Amino acid sequence: MQIKLVLVFTAVLFQLGNAHGGVHVISELTDPAFLLAGAVVAEDAVVYIAGNGVAAVNVSNPTQPELLVSLRHPLLFGCGGLHIYRSADEGNLRLAVTCSSTDTLMLIDVENPRELKVLGTISDFVVLSRAADVVVKGNLAFVAVPGAASVVSFDITSEASPVHLSSIKLSGADSVSLLDDAHLVVASERGRRVSTLSFSPHGVLFKIGSIKDERFDGVISILKHGTLYLDFTFVISAANGGTFAVLNTTSQSRPSIVTAMQASVRLARPAATLKNEGKYDELGVSYIDAGWAPYGHKSILGATGMVLIENLIYIVGNTAGTISVMDVSDPSKPRIIRELNDARLIGAANICAANYDQESISLDGVLQILVAAVPSTGKLVLLKDTVERLSIQSAEL
């Protein structure tokens, strides 16, 4: 008997506008605070960058970004995990930061982005060995700890004194994300595995499922955000030059790969054909929707970060300095519909999307502001992209 999984979603989707020239760089900001930046997130028009310290940048005027403050601290070194949340008691804005060089989890008050305040820290060279990533749910913080190959939970009710609650050993733990209100998804580079965990209200962790695949090899990042795709987890990894994969995580006990795309191996169609169609340049960098296929998507070469905005995922590739715009309206067949190749993005570590004053944009179009951190040059690169609202659609798998 053949079983067919059907997912139907109804929503207003986005497509790229043509009148504004697609994704392009609009400004840069250089500061020593951005050197060695490992993570970047945004809340409204403020972008937070973590590396050797934590910085806040105002992008309300994206053509003239302003560095608001740079927080230095002896424990803020090699920071690569960053999660923005609101405190469970009063709803104040906070940052949770993990730093691999100091085996540290730090909580920071960012209610006033011009005055960042350290609330509490916990450092442990065993429990938090090379702490890499963090997410927060309510009074619980969950940290991916590659040095201990485990995920660790903390009670942060008292922000000044986080309390270690539980740990679970895995094949590895390099990236962690919330799957829903009671589940996590965890990526292991060494184990080539993505695992699903459940957690109790008291922070006790249980492994409930996993999937191992060679496409999860190397540096890996996972994403689980948005309301359109509750059943899917999006993954990028360093495997095969750069890989983008879609996982069906409807059944947390048996996650499965829906589809995957990669940069290397072979082109989906002959290079000469793509050149004639203007879809493949002389360096083999440009590959835009040249008939869907899993191979030869050179624009995701060196994929290191991504951000989801409705049905569009922006992926930054640090090898050639690319931004790929992936349409995942149909998660079983994602399409690269636009890309940017810019040398200023070479070496980019991550990307986020910021909100700002959009009064000048019509109701039929939304201007997206993207911010990429380039640690090797100590730069933030700001980009813009205009998307247009689409009609209501549904997808079936």
What is the domain extent for residue 307? 12-31+223-397
Q: Are residues 51 and 172 in the same domain?
A: yes
- Cβ-in-10-Å burial (0-12, 13-18, 19+) of 292 comes to middle
- Domain tally, the chain: 2
Write down which residue in 184, 212, 240 finishes a domain.
212
> Which residues does 78 contact at the CB level (< 8 Å), separation at least 6?
36, 38, 51, 52, 99, 100, 101, 102
**Could you tell me if residue 308 is inside a domain?**
yes
* Nearest to 38, CA basis, from 28, 46, 48, 30: 48
CB 369 within 8 A of CB 23: no
**Of the candidates 287, 296, 184, the residue with the CA atom closest to the CA atom of residue 242:** 296
- Looking at 170, 185, 212, which one is the last position of a domain? 212
Banded pLDDT at 7 (limits 50, 70, 90) = very low
Q: Is residue 156 domain-shared with residue 250, that is, in the same domain?
A: no
Residues 191 and 282 in one domain: no
Which of 73-82, 140-149, 276-285 has the lowest average pLDDT? 276-285
* Residues counted in the chain: 397
Give per-residue pLDDT as tens, 258-274.
999 999 865 444 444 54
Within-domain flag for 345: yes
Nearest to 106 by CA among 35, 41, 43, 53: 53
Residue 332 shares a structural domain with residue 288: yes
Distance (Å, whole) CA 378 – CA 280: 31
3 falls within a domain: no
Q: Which of 174, 124, 114 is nearest to 149 (CA)?
A: 174
Q: Are residues 67 and 22 in the same domain?
A: no
Residue 16 pLDDT greater than 80, yes or no: no
169 and 24 in a common domain: no
**Facing residues of 312 across strands?**
309, 327
Averaged pLDDT, 255-259: 93
In terms of DSSP bridges, do strands 365-374 and 46-51 run parallel, antiparallel, or are they unpaired? unpaired
Residue 5 located in a structural domain: no
* 3-state percent breakdown (helix, strand, coil) of the chain, nearest 5: 5, 50, 45
> How would you classify the pairing of strands 350-354 and 335-341?
unpaired
For all residues of the chain together, what is the average pLDDT? 84
Q: Are residues 98 and 127 in the same domain?
A: yes
Q: In what order do the strands lie in the sheet with 243-248?
A: 220-223, 232-237, 243-248, 256-262
- Helix (H) / strand (E) element for 166: namely strand 163-169
Distance CA 124, CA 232 (A): 34
Asked if the structure places residue 194 within a domain, the reply is yes
Hey, CA dihedral for 111, 116, 117, 119, is it positive or negative? Answer: positive
Give domain status of residue 4, yes or no.
no
Strands 193-199, 183-188: pairing is antiparallel
Domain presence at residue 83:
yes
Residue range 58-77, pLDDT digits in tens: 999 999 999 999 999 999 99
Predicted pLDDT at 289: 41
pTM, two decimals, is 0.86
Residues 127 and 242 grouped into a single domain = no
Lowest mean pLDDT among 111-120, 181-190, 260-269, 320-329: 260-269
Residue 321 in domain? yes
Same domain, 206 and 260: no
